[in-house]
Amino acid sequence: MVSEPQKLNASERKAKAMEMCSSGQVKMIDFKFTDVPGTLQHISYPSGRMCEDLLKDGVGFDASSIRGFAHINESDMLLIPDINTAIMDPACKIPTMSVFCDVREPINGQRYEKDPRFIAQKAEKHLKDTGVADTSYFGPELEFFVFDSIRYEQNQHSGFYYIDSDEGIWNSGNNVNGTNHGHRPRNKEGYFPVPPTDSLQDFRSQCVLNLMNAGIDCEVHHHEVATAGQCEIGMRFQTLCKMADQVMLYKYVLKNTAAAMGKTVTFMPKPLFGDNGTGMHVHQSLSKDGTNVFYDADGYSMLSQTALYYIGGLLEHSAALLALTNPSTNSYRRLVPGFEAPVNLVYSQRNRSAAVRIPVYSKSPKAKRIEYRPPDSTSNPYLAFSAMLMAGLDGIKHKISPGEPHDMDMFELSKEELAKIKTVPGSLEKALESLESDNDFLRQGDVFTKDFIDGWVDYKIHKENDYIRLRPHPSEFYLYFDA
């Protein structure tokens, strides 16, 4: 049950899944869902449990043990499998069917408001209710690092991390058993070299095959700019919730493929000092009755006025938006000038130094889209995609102008010129403060609730921001120990 079910309708997929379980082709069923911060969780049952009642009634779990979910006095929750997402799990040796689930309240049967997948589905419904469009398409570019080793520790009296990659330029002088192959990408020179400098060609190809076997349509893979194994695998665009499902599956497949090959994958935005960080540039467009509402042959870069207002919403709300699209303290190690990071809140065609880029590879009306470049993969994709859509729709609703395009290289502007351009927040704390004061656009249509936003801010401040803020940094010993 891999690529074939993509051609089946819902009832046919359900019948196929049930038949595979009853015939013994599948030994286990794995129910997957995503916690609030954005980590995939799961619970497994023998395939003999698969029946109509299970699909309808779901399986119980302790939601108080899941980050960001329920308190202990309301811990009982249900996972309702979405059989349309069923695939054969590519990471399991025992034949296992993997299914994404929705979370429901067991008392009243209603959807659980803190389930990230529910928020994404509400965002899709809200889009239809506006009448602006009926479908939102998202195409994220997830960059990642492939390392050979990672060690880290943090306690009261010590803290360190140690990364190693045979591809890392820092290994150019190593003499291991008298050999050193010498082909490594230098800092900021890792974009598109062939093997042997690109040592991860076969690794990425294996990832692509595994992703395609899991039903994800892949378009391209390549080495990225940084040394030490920075890579990217491109997925074909999908509708909002489906793409969020695919992002979770993408990360799952890549991490497990790496583990099977003796490597490790990280989606941290800035694991290496002094080289490019890792982003998740998100392409997006809106469609109504099969027509791309972002296209206008006579508009700037063939963009419609609707698309420009959408950009205006993204730029207007970016400070708050980044609390959901860039929700880690590490996110803001990447968002600094000089490493191709999109810190300037402007838009432009072709220009990768702008927060919003309009790709110009194709003149096809169907291909016209915008690319929002600040996000990274520490975000929960269900929340990040929903928040971007809501910001864009608010721009359309209030006709927010994005201003004039900036087609120059903003990294080359003078200090005086740069001072006139708004930039992204410089820290997670600043982004969370912006979210607290600017969240009405997220709460339209009850997509994000006030309780959810308040809980998100509280969790990020006390569980993550303060965790970093209160601890001595190793570099502080380098700077200040001899004070």
Q: Which residues are catalytic?
A: 62, 141, 143, 224, 232, 281, 352, 371, 373
Q: Is 308 strand, coil or helix?
A: helix
Is residue 75 packed enough to be buried (19+ CB in 10 Å), middle (13-18) or exposed (0-12)? middle
In angstroms and rounded to an integer, the radius of gyration of the C-alpha atoms of the chain is: 23
CA angle 392, 372, 288 (to 5 degrees): 45
Residue 428: how many other CB atoms lie within 10 Å = 24
Alpha carbons 360 and 352: distance in angstroms, whole number:
12
- What is the distance, to the nearest Å, from the Cα of residue 440 to the centroid of all Cα atoms in its chain? 23
Beta bridge partners of 137: 239, 285
- What is the distance, to the nearest Å, from the Cα of residue 227 to the centroid of all Cα atoms in its chain? 22
Is residue 248 packed enough to be buried (19+ CB in 10 Å), middle (13-18) or exposed (0-12)? buried
Q: Report whether 423 contacts 345 (CB < 8 A).
A: yes
Alpha carbons 389 and 230: distance in angstroms, whole number:
29
Residue 372 Cα distances to 138, 227, 348, 351, 377, angstroms = 10, 25, 11, 12, 13
Half-sphere exposure of 444 (CA within 13 A, CB side): 24
- What is the distance, to the nearest Å, from the Cα of residue 118 to the centroid of all Cα atoms in its chain? 17
For 172-236, where are the E strands, in sequence order?
218-223, 230-235
Residue 417: how many other CB atoms lie within 10 Å = 11
Alpha carbons 263 and 74: distance in angstroms, whole number:
40
